[in-house]
Amino acid sequence: MNDPFPLSWDSRTYIMGILNLTPDSFSGDGLLQNADPIEAALAQAHQFVSDGAHILDIGGESTRPGAKQVSASEEIDRILPVVQKLITEFPGIILSIDTYKSEVAEVALSAGASWINDVWGLRADPAMPQVIARHKAPVILMHNRAVPNSTEIRSRLGGHYVGVKYADLLGEVKAELMDSVAIAKASDIPDKNIILDPGIGFGKTVAQNLMLLNHLDEICALGFPVLLGASRKSFIGYTLDLPPKERLEGSAAANAVGILRGANILRVHDVKQAARLARMVDAILHADN
């Protein structure tokens, strides 16, 4: 496996490009819609790396509101050929696997993937922490209160969460993220291998997502690197009344605020634009250094 953490958190914002090996991604970029998904994924990966991606995040199951679960074997069938190809094509790139299933993580890490991006923060599969620890892999721990019956889906704008209750949004998100950190530590995953994700769009209303993004610095204050995944999310669509493919400017605004609040990684669909935005914001923030 490549060096899992060839990153310097204080020097720049890193860009993670999204490779959706699904037929039903909320953003309309599911690669299984192509006649040859593997070749489509390779082409997209080449473009992403050329455009400035430092990390490629490969997912075989859609996590959009209302999406159907797939089996671990089907998820493996979707992602493994792409992982194997990308390791050969891009020996220096960080390959992150977007999965909450330990079987998928085991196969992907054994094949040479670098990170696991667990949208359930190690709370969905009790075997996941041991797999990650055994491979000495970094893990992204995301906050998630997604409940299927709390979603509302509109054909033009997609799904979003309604009626999600928090007595103290920021306090509860922070506490639940630290619960995931505790699970990781109990399996001997070291602090240096932990990244936090506040879970924008996962079990939060539009207003809650906006508030969480505006106070992202409180998540950063927990002492771990932070990933922001706001790209094309429904809170942008419902704020601007725009479908997923018209959310570039809204995504850029969210990402700029995220960097200003301390985000270290941006998980994005539009890599070129996000990479340029990050370089500019970083230049401004580091101008006095």
DSSP per position, 33-82: GSSSHHHHHHHHHHHHHHHT-SEEEEESS--STTPPP--HHHHHHHHHHH
Indicate the helix (H) or strand (E) that contains 213: helix 206-214
The candidate with the shortest Cα–Cα distance to 56, out of 134, 2, 110, 123, is 2
Per annotation, catalytic residue among 101, 233, 261, 272: 233
* 264 vs 228: CA distance, rounded Å: 8
* 99 vs 107: CA distance, rounded Å: 11
DSSP H helices, 52-168, are 72-89, 102-110, 128-134
* Placement of tokens 């704008």 in the chain: 157
* 246 vs 258: CA distance, rounded Å: 20
* 128 vs 218: CA distance, rounded Å: 27
Per annotation, catalytic residue among 68, 267, 272, 279: 267
- 126 burial via Cβ count (<10 Å: 0-12, 13-18, 19+): exposed
- Is 233 labeled as catalytic in the residue annotation? yes
- Is 247 labeled as catalytic in the residue annotation? no
* 134 vs 183: CA distance, rounded Å: 15
Q: What residues are annotated to the active site? A: 233, 267
